[in-house]
Homo-oligomer: A and B are copies of this chain.
């Protein structure tokens, strides 16, 4: 890990400056803040241009759910669950309805959720029939003494919890079927790492994160990526930040990305943006993916090393924007 060691030295130099100076901004922290993502990837504007308004609408709908809840004082752990469930229900995104198909042409969905106060968390991997995997992850957190259930055991837990279940036809979309056929016939991968996620700071200063995915088109059955791995795809700690990741899951696991961003804040005095940029730009490889994060002060980071990332952010200060590429698309105020 020569690369890592060099980078830590340069970080140390950067942080020694930022640690000895007061923060550049002295604006009061927003009462609440939220960020969402709907996956990252090459996202060639020539190919996605026509569909950009649809994606922007989907992101805005989810962001509005967050804004309404956070305004009313809802706990961040409930907000991230609700927002991710909204994105799962939207067939545009690779989670819940519209999840991609594995090699056998079936959905296998992963999700996780974490509360920053006491690190309580829940996750599921490889579920096939649960309408909203993020809600099952929440029940693992609240109603079991465990953190992670996988495969048939996760389905059995869903039975115990009487979770809403759906037939395969509910999850399958024509677009995912075509992607699956192209992968099976030509090993042609879609240019998108599909995942959805939400991070939020509520009025009480509580942080939470949630992530959900259908994984990779044509993946081998049983493959589990970073989404249900606490510390890799999802992390929340009220002392630092809440993080949700999207990208080449294996790389996010190898480098413990979500927890690593939090650790750089806790142990190096890095700002959220410094920590997130360091991990995405220096620890991961170009094209590996992106993250959204919010810290205890309400600062938001949305960093990616791909062509684009479906994303959105809102705060009590009136910020409300969604974006796919480098510039916010059609920024508009919250209604």
Contacts and interface: CB of A to CB of B under 8 A. Distances in A.
Q: How many copies does the complex hold?
A: 2
A209 interface: no
A226 to B, nearest CB: 8
* Most chain B Cβ neighbours within 10 Å, of A117, A120, A126, A231: A231
Counting contact residues on chain A (CB < 8 A from B), the size range is: 35 or more
B153 A153 contact: no
Interface string A234-266: 010111000000000110011110011001101
B230 A1 contact: no
A175 interface: no
Nearest to A5: B239
Nearest to A267: B267
* Most chain B Cβ neighbours within 10 Å, of A118, A232, A238, A267: A267
Contact of A220 (B146, B219, B230, B238): B146
Given A1-B119, A231-B259, A259-B256, A148 B239 contact: no
Nearest to A232: B231
B256 A4 contact: no
A157 B219 CA distance: 12
A231 B268 CA distance: 19
A222 B150 contact: yes
Given A232-B230, A263-B263, A148 B224 contact: yes
A148 B249 CA distance: 10
B119 A239 contact: no
Contacts of A35: none
Contacts of A268: 267
A117 B5 CA distance: 12
A125 interface: yes
A164 to B, nearest CB: 19
B146 A4 contact: no
A253 B121 contact: yes
B148 A253 contact: yes
A247 to B, nearest CB: 13
A151 B151 contact: yes
Contacts of A150: 125-126, 150-151, 222, 224
Contacts of A254: 119-121, 147, 230
A1 B148 contact: no
A49 interface: no
A258 to B, nearest CB: 9
A285 to B, nearest CB: 12
Interface of A: 1, 4-5, 8, 116-121, 125-126, 144-157, 219-225, 229-232, 235, 237-239, 249-250, 253-256, 259-260, 263-264, 266-268
11 contacts: A1-B239, A120-B254, A146-B250, A147-B249, A147-B254, A148-B229, A151-B152, A151-B153, A229-B230, A256-B256, A256-B259
Given A119-B254, A149-B220, 6 more contacts: A1-B238, A8-B267, A151-B152, A155-B222, A156-B222, A157-B220
